[in-house]
Structure 1
Amino acid sequence: METYFDPQYFSTMGFGTIVLGFLVLFFVWRFLMNQRRNSNSPPAVPGQPLIGNLLQLKAKKPHQTFCKWAETYGPIYTIRTGASTVVVLNSIEVAKEALVTKYLSISTRKLSRALQLLTADKNMVAMSDYGEFHKMVKKYILASLLGANAQKRSRCHRDTMIENTTKCLHANVKEHPLLPVNLREIFKKELFRLALKQALGKDVESIYVEELGKQLSKWEMFDVLVVDPMMGAIEVDWRDFFPYLRWVPNKGIEMKIRRIVSRTSAVMKALIQEQKKRIASGEDIDCYTDFLLAEGKTLKDEQISWLVWEAIIETSDTTLITTEWAMYELAKSSKYQDRLYQEIQKICGSEKITEVHLPQIPFLNAIFQETLRLHSPVPILPMRYAHEDTELGGYHIPAGSEIAVNIYGCNMDKKVWNEPEEWKPERFLSAENLTADLFQTMAFGGGRRVCAGALQANSIACTAIARFIQDFEWKLKEGEEGDVDTVQLTTHKLHPMQAIITPRNSL
C-alpha cells in the first residue's frame, strides 16, 4: 500500500471561514521560504501560496508528474503539499543514498490518516517505523513465511496454485475456444487461496463472523480483506495536507475508512479464533498464524491479527499486478513470446517447468525485471520522514521533511535506461545487468527496509509466466494493445487483460 497525493478534496473546500488564519500562515510561509533560500536546499518546484503544488497534482498520477518535473529540476527537488515539504527523489543514485547510506536519518514512516487506520497505527511489517518492533516482526515473517527456508517448505502450495491456474485456463479454452480469457479473474482467486494456506494453514471456504452477524463465503472474505482495503488505502483526506485543520469535519472519508477497518478486523478476529480452536484441539499446521501464536509472546492479539492480514493482502495483490502486465507485454510480442518458449523447451523439454528451473532461464528473469521497471506495482515507495537534518544528493535536507522515492521516475531515467518508455527485456541480458538481483529496478525498495516478499514475488510471477507460455500461445484480443490505463493512483491495470489463448501440443 502507498501514500499518494489527491488534492481534489482541497479544490472544493470553502475558504471563507478560515481566511484570517490563512493570511497569518501565508506570512509565516513566506518567512520560512526566505530562510530556506539561504541554505543549500534542493530546487523547489514553484507552487501557490499555502497550498503549494497540490493543484498541480490533480491528475492522480503523481509518479508521472514527478518524472516530468525531474526533467526540469533534476533528480532531487522539493514540492509543497499544504503544510509539508516533500523531497522527491527520481534517480536510482539518490534513492539508494536515501534508503541505504542515510537510512537512520529517514527511517520513520509518514502515513496518511487512511493508512494510519488501515494499519492499526503501523502494526505491520511494511508500514512500521524502524525499531525493535519492526526488527522482531520482520524476523518472524522471514522465518515462517518469506525467507528462503520458509519458501522451500511452502513450495508445494505454490506448485498447486500454478497447476490449478493452468487447469482453469485449459478448461476455459475447451469450453469457449474462440472467446478471450480473463487471466486476472482466474489468477487472483488462486493467489488468494495460496495466501490463506500460507497464513492460516488451509484454504478457508467460509467463516462465521460474529461481529457482522453472518457467514461469509471465501469471495466475500476476499472483498473484505483485499479489495476494500486496497481501495481505502488510496483515499486521501485533504486534512492530511493541513494537520492544523484536523478539527474541520470530513465525515464521509473518515466513516468509509473506519467501516473498512471494522469489517477487516472482524473477519481477521474470526479467522484467528478458528485457528486457536484448532491448535487447542491438538492439530498443528506449519503456517504463519501458528508461528506467531507460538513465538510472538509479546504480541497482542490485535497485532497478530494485523500481521496475518498483511501476509494475506500482500500475497494477493502486487504479484498479480506484475504477472498480468508481463503477460500483456508478451501477448503483444510474438517475438519475445517465442524466444521465451524456446528457452523453456531447451531446459525442460516435455517436463513442466517449476521453480527449480528458474535460474537456468535468464530471459525469464529479464522479462520479470523489465516488467517491474516499466510497470512497478508500487510507483512511489511509502513515504519516509526525516527526523533529523541530513544530506541527499549534495543538498541539505532539514528535519521534518517528507521523503518520496519515485520508483517510476528512477526507472524512466534516460541517463540510465535507453528508451525507457519501451518494454525491452533484453536490456537485462547485458553484461552489467545479467544477474538475478531482485533490486536492480528498486521495485522492492532497498536497505534495511527492503521488501520481505521479494523472493516469493519472483518465484510466483516467474513460474506463472513461464508455465502460461509453456502451455499456451497468447494473443491480445483486438483493440487491447493500447489499453494501458491504470486504477487511479496505482499501476494496477484498469481493465483486465483479455487474450485469446491456444494450447500448445508439446505437453
Structure 2
Amino acid sequence: MATYFLQFFSSMAFATIVLGFLVMFFVWRFLMNQRRNSNSPPAVPGLPLIGNLLQLKAKKPHQTFAKWAETYGSIYTIRTGASSVVVLNSAELAKEALVTRFSSISTRKLTNALTLLTADKTMVAMSDYGEFHKMVKQYILASVLGTNAQKRNRCHRDTMIENTTNCLHTNVRENPLHPVNLREIFKKELFRLALKQALGKDVESIYVEELGTELSKQEMFDVLVVDPMMGAIEVDWRDFFPYLRWVPNKSMEMRIKRMATRKFAVTKAMIQDQKKRIASGEVIDCYLDFLLSEAKTLKDEQITMLVWEAIIESSDTTLVTTEWAMYELAKNPKYQDRLYREIQEICGSEKITEGHLPHLQNLSAVFHETLRKHSPVPIIPLRYAHEDTQLGGYRIPAGSEIAINIYGCNMDKKEWDEPEEWKPERFLVKGNGSIDLFQTMAFGGGRRVCAGALQAMLNSCTAIGRFVQEFQWRLKEGEEEDVDTVQLTTHKLQPMQAIITPRDGA
C-alpha cells in the first residue's frame, strides 16, 4: 500500500510539473502575442469563430464600417471567419495604402464569385499588379480610355448624348405629365457607346451558337452587364472559411458558372461577328481591332475577357453617378437653378459640348459632390498584405486583408462638414484652380488609379449639363426619401422618377 501511494504521489507530482510547464508555455505564448500585437489597430469585438460576420448581415458593409469608425477610429480590424481584415476609413489612410505602401499590398483578394466571373483576374481592373496588368492597361488606354483615344471617340459620345436628350423630348411630347425613367433611357445609350468603342459598331441582336439562341439588345445587356454585376456581390460563406472549401455549395456555384459561361459565349459571338467584318477589308477603329493587331501575346480567352470588361465598365458606373446627380438636382431646385444660370452664361444659345466643361465650375462641383456622397464603388475590392507593413502607424502583419472604405472616407466628419448633406459648393474653386480628381478617392489612386476616370467625367458631366440645359427637373411626389440602394453597392434600388419640363428654346 505504501508503494502504491508513493507511485501515485510521484505520478501526481510529475503531472503537476508537466501541467506547470504547459501553463508557463501558453502564458509565454500569450505574452509574446500580446507584445507582438501591442501596436496593432483596435479590434471590433466579435464572436468566436465567426468574428464580426453577424454584424454585417444587413449587406451594407460600407455603412457599418463608417459607423464603427466613429467608435474605433479610422483604422481598425475585424474578423470575417478565418480572415483578419484591416478597414480604412479616411482619405489619408487610403492614400497611404494605395501609394506609400502599395508594394506590400498590391495583390487582389477575390471572392469565389469574382474569381469565376473575371476568369481568375484576367482583366485590367481585377488583375494583380505586374507585367500583365501594365500591358493590358496600356492597351485600353491607347485604344479607348486615354486622352488621344477620347478625342478619336468623341463622335460616339456626342451621338450618345444627342440620342438621350431626343428620347427625353419624345417622352415629354407623348406623356407630358408622366414621370420619366432616366435610367432606362440612358443605360441603353451608354450600352450602345460601349459596343461601338469595344467592337466598332452597335449590335441590335446576336445569334450565340454556344447557347443555341438569338439574343435581343436587352438580353445582351442583361447577360453582359446586369447578371455579372449581381453575381459579383453574391456571398459564398466559404469565402470566410477557406478551410471548408471542400464543402459543396452547388446552387451558388452553378449560378455563377452559368453567368460566366453565358457572358463569355455572348462576347465571343460578338467578336466572331466583328472578325468577319475586319476580314472583309472593312476599316474598324475599335478596341477589338487594336487587340487583334497589337496584342499578339494574348490568348483568345484573354482577348474575350478584355473586350467584355470594356463593355461592362463603360455601361455601369457612369449611369450610377449621373442618375444620383439628377436625383439631387431635382431634389434641390436652388442648385439646379444655379447650374442652369451658369450654363446660360457660358454657352448662350449653343448646346453644351465637352469643350465647355473646363469653364463650367458649378457643373464640375455637382459631379464631384455626387461622387463623394454616392461613391459608385463604396469599397475597393480587397487587397492582400503579402508581407509585414505599416498603416497609420500600426503594424499590419502579412496575410491581413485590406478594405478601403471609400464611402467611409467621404463620410469622415473630420474631413467633411455635414458629410451626409449634398453640397456642391464644397468643390467650387476660385480663379483658374482645378479640382483634385482624386479628392473623393472615387477613382482610387497611385499605380492602380482607374483607367476610365477621364471618360466617366466627360460622359457624366456632359450628360448632366445637357439634361439641365434642356429641361427643368422635379421629383415625382414621394421620391425625396427613396434613397435605398442595392445590397453591397450604392446603386439606387429603384429608378429615379422625375417630371421634366422643356425649357424655353430647348
| Corresponding residue for residue 277 of structure 2 | 278
Q: How big is the shift at 1:430?
A: 4.9
Q: 1:226 to 1:166 in 2, by over 3 A?
A: same
How do residues 185-264 of structure 1 correspond to structure 2 at under 5 angstroms?
185-264=184-263
Query: In the alignment, which residue of structure 2 is the partner of 1:180?
Result: 179
Alignment of 1:136-147 (within 5 A): 136-147=135-146
Q: Is the 8 A contact 1:374 1:411 kept in 2?
A: yes
Match of 1:38 in 2: 36
**Which residue identity does 1:38 align to in structure 2?**
R
Note the alpha carbon deviations across 1:262-316, whole angstroms, 9 max, x for none. Answer: 1011101111111221111111211000001111100000000000000100111
Instruction: Provide closer, same or farther for how the CA distance between residues 32 and 375 of structure 1 changes in structure 2, counting only shifts above 3 A.
Output: farther
Shift of 1:38: 3.5
Contact 1:355 1:463 in 2 (8 A): yes
Q: Structure 2: which amino acid aligns with 1:392?
A: L
Distance 1:399 1:217, change over 3 A: same
2:361–2:429 Cα contact (<8 Å) kept: no
Instruction: Provide Cα deviations, 1:387-434, integer angstroms capped at 9, x if missing partner.
Output: 111000000011110000000000011111000000000011155995
Q: Is the 8 A contact 1:428 1:434 kept in 2?
A: no
Q: Deviations over 1:61-113 (max 9, x none)?
A: 00000001101111111000011100000000010000001101100100000
Q: In the alignment, what sits opposite 1:23?
A: none
2:192–2:202: 8 Å Cα contact kept in structure 1? yes
Task: Give, in angstroms, the shift of residue 57 of structure 1.
Answer: 0.4
1:294 alignment partner in structure 2: 293
* CA distance in structure 1 between the aligned counterparts of 2:260 and 2:114, rounded to whole angstroms: 10
- Matches for 1:259-408 after TM superposition, within 5 Å: 259-408=258-407
Counterpart in the other structure of 1:155 = 154
C-alpha spacing 1:33/1:69, structure 2 compared with 1 (3 Å): farther
Aligned letter for 2:97? A
CA distance in 2, matches of 1:80, 1:32: 19
Separation (CA, whole Å) in 2 of partners of 1:221 and 1:33: 59
User: What fraction of aligned residue pairs are identical, expressed as a percent?
Assistant: 80
Alpha carbons 1:427, 1:433 under 8 Å: kept = no
Distance 1:458 1:419 in 2: 25
Please identify, of 453-462 and 31-40, the stretch whose mean Cα deviation from structure 2 is larger.
Answer: 31-40
Aligned mates of 1:110, 1:132 — CA distance in 2: 18
Asked whether the 8 Å contact 2:322–2:460 carries over to 1, the reply is yes
Which structure: larger Rg? 2
Paired residue secondary structure (2:380): coil
Q: How many residues align?
A: 479
User: Which residue identity lines up with residue 122 of structure 1 in the other structure?
Assistant: K
Q: Which residue of 1 aligns with 2:19?
A: none
Residue 435 in 1 paired to residue 431 in 2? no
The question of whether the paired residues in 2 share the 8 Å contact of 1:366 and 1:426 is answered with yes
For residues 1-57 of structure 1, the C-alpha deviation after alignment (integer angstroms, 9 at most, x for no partner) is xxxxxxxxxxxxxxxxxxxxxxxxxxx9xx789726633111111111111100010
Three-state SS of the structure 1 residue aligned to 2:301 is helix
Which residue of structure 1 aligns with residue 9 of structure 2?
A: none
Deviations 1:362-405 (CA, angstroms, capped at 9, x unpaired): 11110000000000010000110001110000000111100000
Q: TM-score, normalised by structure 2?
A: 0.93
Residue 90 of structure 2 is matched in structure 1 by 91
Which residue number in structure 2 is paired with residue 477 of structure 1?
476
For 1:163 and 1:279, how far apart are their aligned partners in 2? Answer: 28
Matched residue type, 1:337: Q
Task: State the Cα RMSD in Å.
Answer: 1.6
For residues 370 and 34 of structure 1, what CA distance do their matches in structure 2 show? 47
Query: What amino acid is the match of 1:401?
Result: S
1:377 aligned counterpart, secondary structure: coil
Flag the 1:277–1:218 CA change in 2: closer, same or farther, 3 A. Answer: same
Please give the alpha-carbon distance, in whole angstroms, between the structure 1 residues aligned to 2:318 and 2:429: 25
Residue deviations 1:312-340 (CA, integer Å, cap 9, x gap): 00111110000000000000111100000
TM-score (norm. length: structure 1): 0.93
| Offset, 1:436 | 3.2
Match of 2:414 in 1: 415
Unaligned runs of 5+ in 2: 1-25
